Amino acid sequence: MKVKSTFFCSNCGSESPKWIGKCPSCNEWNTYHEEVIEKKTSHEEKSAVWKDHKMEKPFPKKLDEVSSLTAKRINTLDGELNRVLGGGLVYGSIILVGGQPGIGKSTLMLQLALNQGSKVLYVSGEESEEQIKMRADRIGRNNSSCYIYTDVNVSNILKEANKLQPDIIIIDSIQTLVSPYIESTPGSISQVRECTGELQRYAKITNIPIFVIGHITKEGGIAGPKLLEHIVDVVLQFEGDNHYAYRILRTIKNRFGSTDEIGIYAMDTQGLREISNPSELLISPDDDRLSGSAIAASIEGLRPLLLETQALVSPAIYGTPQRSATGFDLRRLSMLLAVLEKRCGLAYGQNDVFLNIAGGIKVADPSIDLAVVAALISSLQDIHISKKICFAGEVGLSGEIRPVSRVDQRIQEAGRLGFDTIYISKYKSDVLAKKNYQVEVRMLSRIDDLLREVFA
């Protein structure tokens, strides 16, 4: 038995026999840490794992002979999760679910396990059986073929999985697992890497999908090396704000679908509830007729989403005016302010400007520019914009309003939700003008048009 110690980069997971200051593969400084690994495995010993599991070793096959089982998907019976996964769970895939502590990862996964009619193995290295039972009681659902197993040893887990032959495996969490072939502590880079690797091989050979919960570091990355994200098929991030009950499940990587999808849940006293119509929830009531808010007809993934953008423009008290944005790119805000100053002569220079996307949502869709601009003007001039009006358009540097993708879908959603008017770009929209929508479609070519139409 050889005792060996190696250095690992905590950022990307590369290995080096001696300490180095700068990682040659990811160029980060001071990321190397020493970990003691006891190498009792030669390659033959490792393949003994497969003998234990009585599994065939893979061999080259003709593509024609490969069964197309993997092309089918399992319905998780959770509409939001299905959407985020790209239309259901793929057989043999390994899915990493990341998120801050207390956000609801264990709840989401347990709920998935209890929803299924099929056999699910829920492995927990974090909580006792009783604690999980308590949570299941709280969620108030039952699946008589949901198995709980509290162990942290990957070999044992895979042995039990082999006996049980579940349809889905859930691991809570990867940072608690240990591989008997490696000596370092749970959660260390070499452990996380080894354990994920073993789970991945198991998933691929048995075709059982595995969900793996992973913790998040202070910087917001999934703890353990970036490498982890390379090994798994899908990376989901569960995020939310402590002040809101909403939780957003976001796809960061998906080998079987798009990465633009989001799933929205609300954390209730009885677990997570799917929010299938988020627009209604994200827009505040129009009782007070306050200025500074405008509604954007945005699209997240495949789903249209009406969002409220809120701006506050107020005279700067201390020297340099502040600019602050939540859920929106700060540089983009500065650019829109510059466009408003230059093209419309509106003076934001001596004002503090705060921008917020309501509901704690982050958007990258450029189509919300027009709503942001409308909110900024509304706040500066203290003119209320009706909540029956929404906007979809990108704003260019010369103040022109540019067309956005899938405008037809946005208009339909606005109509469905009972809006009166939607403002879009004049360009490339001749076709739309002729259609019969439930909502009045008005077209703008420049920001000046917006000033004239909405704020006159």
Q: Which residues bind ligand TYD (CB under 6 A)?
A: 99, 101-107, 135, 138-139, 267, 269-271
- Residue 107 binding result from ligand TYD, Mg ion, none, given CB thresholds of 5 to 8 Å by partner type: ligand TYD
Residue 109: CB minimum distance to ligand TYD, A: 8
Q: From the list ligand TYD, Mg ion, none, pick the one residue 267 interacts with, judged by a Cβ distance below 5 to 8 Å according to partner type.
A: ligand TYD
Q: Which is nearer to ligand TYD, 103 or 357 (CB)?
A: 103
3-state secondary structure 127-143: CCHHHHHHHHHHHCCCC
The pair of three-digit structure tokens given for residue 291, joined into one six-digit string: 């200025």
96-115 positions binding Mg ion, by CB under 5 A? 106
Least distance in angstroms from the C-beta of 146 to Mg ion:
16
Choose among 61, 17, 404, 31: nearest CA to 227. Answer: 31
Q: What are phi and psi of 36, to 5 degrees?
A: -85, 125
How far apart are CB 205 and ligand TYD at their closest, in Å?
Answer: 28
Phi–psi pair at 196, nearest 5 degrees: -65, -40
Task: Tell me the two tokens of residue 142.
Answer: 């039952």
Minimal distance, residue 20 CB to ligand TYD, in Å: 35
Q: Residue 135 binds which one of ligand TYD, Mg ion, none, with CB within 5 to 8 A depending on kind?
A: ligand TYD
Closer CB to ligand TYD, 164 or 266, in the complex: 266
Burial class (CB in 10 A: 0-12, 13-18, 19+), 402: middle
- Is residue 232 within 8 Å of 200, Cβ to Cβ? yes
Other C-beta atoms lying within 10 Å of the C-beta of residue 456: 6
Instruction: From 204, 154, 148, 160, select the one nearest 174 (Cα to Cα).
Output: 154
125 binds, among ligand TYD, Mg ion, none (CB under 5 to 8 A by kind): none
Give the H or E element holding residue 89.
Answer: strand 89-90
- Residue 214 Cβ vs ligand TYD, minimum distance, rounded to whole Å: 10
The least distance separating ligand TYD from the CB of residue 223, rounded to whole angstroms, comes to 13
CB of 102 to ligand TYD, least distance (A): 5
Taking the complex as a whole, how short is the minimal distance between the CB of residue 98 and Mg ion, in angstroms? 12
Total number of residues that touch Mg ion (CB under 5 A): 1
Name which of 99 and 292 has its Cβ closer to ligand TYD: 99
99 or 257: whose CB is closer to ligand TYD? 99
Given ligand TYD, Mg ion, none, residue 220, with its beta carbon under 5 to 8 Å by kind, binds: none
Q: Which is nearer to Mg ion, 106 or 175 (CB)?
A: 106
Residue of 271, 265, 322 whose CA lies nearest to 80: 265
Residues 6+ apart with CB under 8 A from 377: 340, 344, 346, 383, 450, 451, 454, 455
Q: Which of residues 138-197 bind Mg ion (CB under 5 A)?
A: none
Q: For residues 99 and 209, which CB has a smaller minimum distance to Mg ion in the complex? A: 99
Reported residue count of the chain is: 456
Closest approach of Mg ion to the CB of residue 86, in Å: 25
Q: Which is nearer to ligand TYD, 224 or 393 (CB)?
A: 224
Query: Choosing among Mg ion, ligand TYD, none, which partner's interface includes residue 304 (Cβ < 5 to 8 Å by kind)?
Result: none
Distance CA 6, CA 8 (A): 7
Q: Of the two residues 37 and 152, which places its CB atom closer to ligand TYD in the complex?
A: 152
Q: How would you label 119-143 residue by residue, b for 16+ Cβ within 10 Å and e otherwise?
A: bbbbbbbebeeeebeebbeebeeeb
Q: Looking at beta carbons only, is 105 or 193 nearer to ligand TYD?
A: 105
**Which of ligand TYD, Mg ion, none lies near 102, with the C-beta cut-off 5 to 8 A by kind?**
ligand TYD
CB nearer to ligand TYD: give 148 or 296.
148
Burial of 421 per CB tally in 10 Å (0-12, 13-18, 19+): middle
Helices (H) and strands (E) in the chain, counts: 13, 23
Give yes or no for a contact between 222 and 187, defined as CB atoms under 8 angstroms apart: no
Minimum distance from residue 51 beta carbon to ligand TYD (Å):
35
Q: Which does 360 bind (CB under 5 to 8 A by kind): Mg ion, ligand TYD, none?
A: none
Contact positions toward Mg ion, by CB under 5 A? 106
